[in-house]
Structure 1
Amino acid sequence: MTPPLRKVALTAHVTSSVGWLGAVAAFLALAIAGLAGQDPQTVRGAYVAMEVTGWFVLVPLSFASLLTGLIQALGTTWGLFRHYWILFKLLINVVATVLLLVHMQVVSHVAGAAAGKTLSSADLTGMRIQLVADAGAALLVLVVAATLSVFKPRGMTRYGQRQHHVRRDGQRKQPALSARQPSDAGG
């Protein structure tokens, strides 16, 4: 990628990833408000808002983060398979996205129950606790992914080590270009 394109791709990746992290924090706040809230309207609104936030913010940002991360990895010298930290981030992103899609089924169920009637403190307690726990775990996982991006721990994969040696050896074998060489054509 050209440097300007690389910056656009990096900006898109950082924006979608940090946006995902922030949206999960908001989702966690709604889940806590829904579980601990005393006012039935607040509880009802929290769960309905969680469903909207999940489908229209969390899910798109998770896919955007995955797509822009792949573009970054494949379009730059970092590569997708050269460094362990990139593979770990890819694994975190894929697993988190799949779990989010599964988690959204629970969110939709609780939101549907909340929209249909007023939830009492005893209704769907297990699912409501699960929403808080899952959002907290997701927040922690996304912070780990962000930390990997900032610190970029050392450690190349075997593939990365081979590529590094091939590139380094290829640079050694190329002769240095000196001043213009006279041609045999008598120019």
Structure 2
Amino acid sequence: MDRGLGKRARQCWLVAHVASSVGWFGVAASQLALKIIAHTTDSDAVRHTDHLTAQVFDRYLMIPLVLVALGTGLVLSLCTKWGLLRHYWVTAKFVLTIALMIADTIWMGGWVAEAVEYTASGGASAAPGYRDTLAHLLAGSVVNLVAILAMVVLSVVKPFGRTSRGRRVVRRVRPA
């Protein structure tokens, strides 16, 4: 059933994958909480601290956790019966992970850096563009959390069945 992984190795990879994914979800939820606090507070000092914390979470937690989740997911998909392109749910999780990784690195990281700059000198609420940046951060955090939840649903429900490639592989292994 598993191509190249013994039972213990598969279990170790699976534990690493689930742990990194849960960590990723936790950081995304924390990021959303920070954005909500920054959006609702009247204190520029609190906003600045929130954005600095979000920047640290992004650089030192979010990106490494996404990379570990991606790497362990690739190992599990390539070395088990699921395959990377054999089932729609695995392919969808892979595409969502890559999309979130790119979006988080390019857009969210840039918006957090902008928010830190806006709040560094105080008076952020009066700075032109700060409210737009804050709205982008809030929306991006919601999208992140919803996408990660969608990946959890995909992992549990495993919808849509096999891809055409997966059906061909099954026909080759089990001729009619």
Tell me the TM-score normalized by structure 1: 0.86
**2:34 paired residue number:** 30
Q: Aligned partners of 2:136, 2:60: CA distance in 1, in Å?
A: 21
CA RMSD of aligned residues (A): 1.4
Once the two structures are superposed, residues 61-120 of structure 1 have per-residue CA deviations (whole angstroms, 9 ceiling, x without a partner) of: 111111111011011111111111111111101111000111201111211332x31143
Q: CA shift at 1:39, angstroms? A: 2.3
Residues of 1 paired with 2:160 and 2:39: CA distance? Answer: 42
Distance across 1 between alignment mates of 2:160 and 2:134: 40
* Matching of residues 62-141 of structure 1 within 5 Å: 62-102=66-106, 103-114=108-119, 116-123=120-127, 124-141=130-147
User: Any conservation in 2 of the 1:50–1:111 contact (CA below 8 Å)?
Assistant: no
Instruction: Note the alpha carbon deviations across 1:143-184, whole angstroms, 9 max, x for none.
Output: 001100011114211111111122223xx9xxxxxxxxxxxx
C-alpha distance in structure 2 between counterparts of 1:122 and 1:167, whole Å: 66
Q: Determine which structure has more spread, i.e. the larger CA radius of gyration.
A: 1
| Aligned position for 2:23 | 19
Gap runs ≥5 in structure 1: 173-187
Q: Match of 1:121, as an amino acid?
A: S
Other structure's SS at 2:20 match: helix
TM-score normalised according to structure 2 size: 0.91
Name the CA distance, whole Å, in 1 between partners of 2:150 and 2:171.
30
Q: Which runs of 4+ in 1 moved over 2 A?
A: 119-123
Q: Which runs of 5+ in 2 are unaligned?
A: none
> Partners in 2 of 1:7 and 1:81 — Cα distance?
21
Residue equivalent to 1:146: 152
Identity of aligned residues (%): 29
Q: How many Å separate the matches in 1 of 2:142 and 2:118?
A: 22
CA distance in 2, matches of 1:39, 1:101: 27
Q: Does 1:160 align with 2:151?
A: no
Q: 1:42 aligns with which of 46, 49, 53?
A: 46
Count of residue pairs brought into register by the alignment:
169
Give the deviation of 1:55 after TM superposition.
Answer: 0.7
